[in-house]
Structure 1
Amino acid sequence: MLLMIKNKVFDRTTSKILEKLALFPDKSLRRHFSKARSAEDFISSESTKVDEWWASSRFENVSRPYSATDVVKHRGSMPAKTSVYPSSYQARKLFNLLEENFKSGTPLHTLGVIDPVQMSQLARCEGIKVAYISGWACSSTLVGSTNEVSPDFGDYPYDTVPNQVERIFKAQQMHDRKAFLEASIRGSTPVDYLQPIIADADMGHGGPTTVMKVAKLFAEKGAAGIHLEDQMVGGKRCGHLSGAVLVPTATHLMRLISTRFQWDIMGTENLLIARTDSCNGNLLSSSSDPRDHEFIKGIIRENVVPWSEKLIEMEDKKVSTSTISDMEQEWYQENELFTFEEAIAKQCTAGEFKKYNEKKDDLMTNKLGRSYLSLREMKLLAQEIAPSKKVTFDWDAPRTKEGYYMFKGCIEAAIRRSLVFAPYSDMIWLETKTPDLEQARSFSSEIHKYFPATKLVYNLSPSFNWSAHGFDDKALKSFIWDLAKEGFTLQLVSLAGLHSDGVSFWELASSFQTDGMKAYVEKVQRREKKSNCDILTHQLWSGAEYVDSLMKVVQNGASSQTLSTSGESFTETQF
């Protein structure tokens, strides 16, 4: 009886929906709902389409822990194909570029841009096919909704970078329309201003639902791809600053899944880059994930008062900050930090430690079938190989005031995490302390041993003093191409726009104060003309001719005498 009542209610609701759809001009929608008179039929039909979409070459190497039905149930009653996002078109373009370059072992390299001017100049370079937008640059140069600029701590409103993406993408579209019109008149090939944008999503700015909202914003505003890093909200730092706090492996994996789920709901093909800062990180927010246990550090002295307790005691007594700083340094000098396995090596014989490693390898390979042991399992194994010894290890005592654990950042940790992230992402980003080809090669070798199709990302950071790392001019020139041969297909100088903007304007300003217009002509106009920089004629660059063409169409040519790019007042005819 209850089922019959429910069906009657559903039939009445469906009838009302069909009455409303009769007003829609889209016959396909009316036809669809006239055939699918139940939610079950609709879900089944749409789920089949999603499964077919996932079976395409685009998602050949992407895993999902949820089903197509899960996606469809969260989309609502409108079929996904009715919503077409330009960023998804750009994502397909990016995907094809990555595939082509990965197979040929060549780089897809680019420079970070901070404004439409830099974007337009980047697009005119035939050998550069994509654009990058940095969160660091947005944090320090872009006036967002709070009208604040600050260092790269990821503490700005989460729509800051998406809004910059929208600004750049709209500029790309404007210049594309301008170039296409000019090409149609002159019969030439237009510049491809629609370079796919890869953007910095930091750490996602919150929990799963916040990450989904951030991912949705990026897709709506034009980013073909984004990268998410495994740092903690509130503990985020630029990858080249100290003090970054990593999240458990499982927490970052959840961010990646949340992002993909959001894009699947939207029906978009945007690309997801999983970045790990675990090569450099020295703090971990939680010990909840056993995959991280091998890299958490503790002390091997017994009955030590934890640092956090001593700190609170000193704060209660109003001890000066300088004294606290000295005491902190003294505490960590007295209490050397070790991982649990380092603690075993320190407290057992070489033979016992060798036996531990042999049994560990056998346990993981033949019995557990995984690449890690939890602290509990490591302790049991240590007790088995040295039953007469007690291995002292305390990872709680050195925890910070906030409760963060000490973490051993290293290439092995980065590899372990990346192997977890790889199936759920399109690319893996290894953040490094130095530009090191051998380190990159070792990382690539391990990742491609398990995931041969995974494309890698490298930050050619301006934080590195490149000249101090032993590179001669030949090595500097070949570094990008050498990296590409190792599978680091996407490479970027994240803050190139920031630095080039700063140095060029500084040179102009410092000369202008004494040389006046001589400085401007020498450092700007003559260089623009010599290098064929189209900013020389900035009115034409901005699209004035394109707007004039619009006016001709709207006014049937009647405004030809008052157009902005004609007549004696148009000063750019001087060039």
Structure 2
Amino acid sequence: MLFRSRLSHPVSVLLGTNLRQMRASSSLPLDPPSPDEETKIFHARCAEVESFFKSPRFAGIKRPYTAKDVVSKQGSFPPVPLPGSLLSDKLFALFARAAKEKRPVHTMGAIDPVQVTQMARYQEVVYVSGWAASSVLTTANNEVGPDLSDYPYTTVPNQVHRLFRAQQLHDRKHYDERMTATPEARKSMEQIDYLRPIIADADTGHGGISSVMKLAKIFAESGASGIHLEDQLHGGKKCGHQAGKVIVPTSTHITRLIASRFQLDVIGSTMHLIARTDSESAKLISSTVDKNDHEFILGTMVEGTPLAEVLDEAEAQGKSGPAVDNLEKEWLEKHPLVTFDQAVEIEINSSQIADKASALSEYKRLSSGRSNLQARQAAKHVLGTDVRWSWDLPKTREGYYHFKGGVEAAIKRSNLFAPYADLLWLETKKPDLEQATGFARRIREVHPGKMLVYNLSPSFNWSAHGFTDDKLKSFVWDLAKEGFVFQLISLAGIHSTATVTVELARRFQSDGMLAYVELIQRKEKELECDVLTHQKWSGAGYIDRMLSTVMSGSSSTSGMGADSTEHTF
């Protein structure tokens, strides 16, 4: 099937239009084509991929590779459209409509099929959190723990696949209930869209570039409509709201995004890529290789023994952990950390230069956007001497460099990520509408129309940030006006489950079944929650109807027969 037809006519695919033609074109040839035929087919496929690249779906997306690079990696047969791509196309249309209306697509993190089905009535998208996977869902011998992305890289894709399959089951069950009802009865039946696009947490990509590519492929094949990749260092990754985060060079993360897009193109997937930056609160960076990061890397103007050597010597002498930590604190107090630009400003202000403001302005003109080497040359031109400053002396024992995190770093990185990502995500330390607005406007000055993501994190103590009830209520809509189309409460599923369980467990201890009836059954009935009749919710009736279709006289073994207790509700 051709790329363009899937994007332009997704409804025709769903309805099975030209199904015979599709099947015929998807059949494998009995004999290989001649070299000339093979070349002709190859060029035709390349033209289709070129058209795919130029579709509205990828407006503003940069690919530093060609259609030929993609087709030559696909094998002799074009990729078969993945079910997840249909939902990804749906997600694209959903985001486009929401952006035009300046409204949010806001959702919650789900941890199981129960939550996915209950959210389906109200939420347009499902989010799957890596933090949740790490804490409650990991598959490596069921080891759970904090979010360090140290679980198997198949963990979150497996969760996506589980939820995607659940969506399909409940869609089939719901469709069967409607289609086997009379037309008159169907008019009064609630119609629920269970096929909600899933956006999932891909952490740092779980390793090198080949791992990133494999992960993108597994997510697409598992049914994800989108994934987000963060610019943290794999192996040094922390939850977005923990301390001690280590980010990678800007160019390293761009390579991750390019690799993911290339892999998706090879398998013919339209899955969305979200570039997340944790640089707003980062303190460390793994390398100085990218000049785009140089203005934010910290060093010291004070000469002395490197920090790592001081700490190694202390440990060799048998000093305790707290004593070594205290030595590090003392070293940093004696060797204040500044960026090179700050060091130059200090040198200019302490120099004999008469017009210091002009000298600083001249330095900024010569060094703006340049590497540290070029900035050093600019400083020497202005000052007439080298500036004493080293980013190597304060390196950590792991070899990381100190980094001046903040919104400026996040804006620069996001603008560089933007050509390779469908959406951009700024991870923040607190919920701040003014900060978010400033960030959004700076991004969209450079990349008009680029859609943004905001984490409505439960790590924030929302009540401690001065919001009135009205401001809390309008927060997601205020963000949407600034381009934050996709917004999520990443761990709502975990926190809601915990809250309900605590309340039920506490009252059940003292009130017995009264607690369960009041807190659960009556509430389920009041909210019209279909899990009240959990056998029916699970698809028991649907399976019964499946069995009766192929096996006459099976009513006596029907799980939803007259003896089922669910008929008492």
TM-score w.r.t. the length of structure 1 is 0.91
After superposition, the Cα gap between the structure-2 partners of 1:407 and 1:570, relative to the gap in structure 1 and judged at 3 Å, is: same
1:123 aligns with 2:126: no
- Among candidates 349, 353, 358, match of residue 361 of structure 2: 358
Number of the residue aligned with 1:258:
259
One-letter amino acid matched to 2:473:
K
Q: Which deviations, in whole Å up to 9, do the C-alpha atoms of 1:322-342 show, x marking residues without a partner?
A: 211111111111211101111
Aligned mate of 1:177, from 172, 177, 183: 172
Instruction: String of CA shifts for 1:264-317, please: whole Å, max 9, x gaps.
Output: 000110100000000010100000101000000011112x11110011111111
Which residue in the other structure is 2:328 paired with?
A: 328
Residue deviations 1:66-91 (CA, integer Å, cap 9, x gap): 000000111111122xx121111110
Instruction: Determine the C-alpha separation between the residues in 2 that align with 1:32 and 1:189.
Output: 52
1:560 is matched with 555
Please tell me whether the aligned partners of residues 273 and 428 of structure 1 are also in contact (alpha carbons under 8 angstroms): yes
For 1:524, give the aligned amino acid: I
Instruction: State whether structure 2 residue 371 is matched by structure 1 residue 374.
Output: yes
Find the aligned partners of 1:317 and 1:168 in 2 and give their Cα distance. Answer: 54
| Residues 519 and 305 of structure 1, relative CA distance in 2, 3 Å threshold | same
| Structure 1 portions without partners, runs of 5+ | 1-23, 365-370
How far did residue 419 of structure 1 move?
0.7
For 1:228 and 1:399, locate their aligned partners in 2 and report how far apart those are by CA, in whole Å.
Answer: 26
Cα deviation, residue 363, structure 1: 4.5
Deviations 1:401-438 (CA, angstroms, capped at 9, x unpaired): 00000000010000000011000010000000000011
Task: Tell me if structure 2 keeps the 8 A contact 1:231–1:246.
Answer: yes
Displacement after TM superposition at 1:43 (Å): 2.5
Task: Return the offset for 1:42.
Answer: 3.2
**1:239-388 → structure 2 map (5 Å cutoff):** 239-302=240-303, 304-349=304-349, 354-355=357-358, 358-359=361-362, 362-363=365-366, 372-387=369-384
1:63 to 2:62 alignment = yes
AA partner of residue 338 (structure 2): F
Measured in 2, the distance between the counterparts of 1:156 and 1:406 equals 27
Letter in 2 for 1:477: K
The answer to whether structure 1 residue 99 and structure 2 residue 102 are counterparts is no
The 2-side partners of 1:146 and 1:293 are apart by 42
- Deviation, structure 1 residue 355: 3.3
Whole-angstrom distance in 1 between the partners of 2:362 and 2:379: 10
Asked whether the 8 Å contact 1:173–1:194 carries over to 2, the reply is yes
Residues 168-207 of structure 1 mapped to structure 2, 5 A cutoff = 168-186=163-181, 187=186, 188=189, 190-207=191-208
Structure 1 window deviating more from structure 2 (51-60 vs 283-292): it is: 51-60
For 2:391 and 2:33, locate their aligned partners in 1 and report how far apart those are by CA, in whole Å.
63
Corresponding residue number in structure 1 for 2:408 = 412
State the alpha-carbon separation in 1 of the partners of residues 50 and 321 from structure 2: 60
- Hey, what's the Cα distance between the residues in 2 that align with 1:269 and 1:352? 57
2: CA distance between counterparts of 1:504 and 1:27? 50
2:525 alignment partner, one of 523, 529, 534: 529
Counterpart in 2 of 1:14? Answer: none
CA contact under 8 A between 1:253 and 1:421: conserved in structure 2?
yes
CA distance in 2, matches of 1:151, 1:456: 27
Check 1:535–1:212 CA distance in 2 against 1; reply closer, same or farther (3 A cut): same
CA distance, structure 2, for counterparts of residue 206 and residue 357 of structure 1: 42
8 Å CA contact retained: 1:511, 1:519: yes
1:129-168 equivalences in 2 (<5 Å): 129-168=124-163
Amino acid at match of 2:194: Y
SS of 1:273's partner is strand
TM superposition shift of 1:356: 5.1
After superposition, the Cα gap between the structure-2 partners of 1:551 and 1:501, relative to the gap in structure 1 and judged at 3 Å, is same
- The corresponding residue for 2:568 is 574
Q: Distance in 2 between matches of 1:352 and 1:87?
A: 63
Say whether residues 1:469 and 2:465 are aligned partners. yes
Does residue 445 of structure 1 match 2:441? yes
Identity of aligned residues (%): 49
Secondary structure at the counterpart of residue 74 of structure 2: coil
Cα separation, partners in 2 of 1:28 and 1:113, compared to 1, 3 Å:
closer
For 1:233 and 1:27, locate their aligned partners in 2 and report how far apart those are by CA, in whole Å: 40
Contact 2:232/2:278 (<8 A) preserved:
yes
8 Å contact from structure 1 (residues 355, 385) kept in 2? no
The residue correspondences of 1:432-511 to structure 2 (distance < 5 A) are 432-511=428-507
Say if 1:295 and 1:408, in contact at 8 Å, map to a contact too.
Answer: yes
How many angstroms does 1:352 deviate by? 6.1
CA distance in 2, matches of 1:317, 1:349: 42
Q: Which residue of 2 aligns with 1:10?
A: none
* Aligned equivalent of 1:75: 74
SS of 1:490's equivalent in the other structure is: strand
SS in 2 for 1:522: helix
Q: Is the 8 A contact 2:230 2:277 kept in 1?
A: yes
Preserved CA contact (<8 Å) 1:182 1:190:
no
Amino acid at match of 1:93: K
1:89 to 60, 63, 86: 86
- For residues 20-56 of structure 1, what are the alpha-carbon distances to aligned partners after superposition, in whole Å with 9 as ceiling and x for unaligned? xxxx976865399647645433322211110011111
**What's the offset of the Cα at 1:145?**
3.2
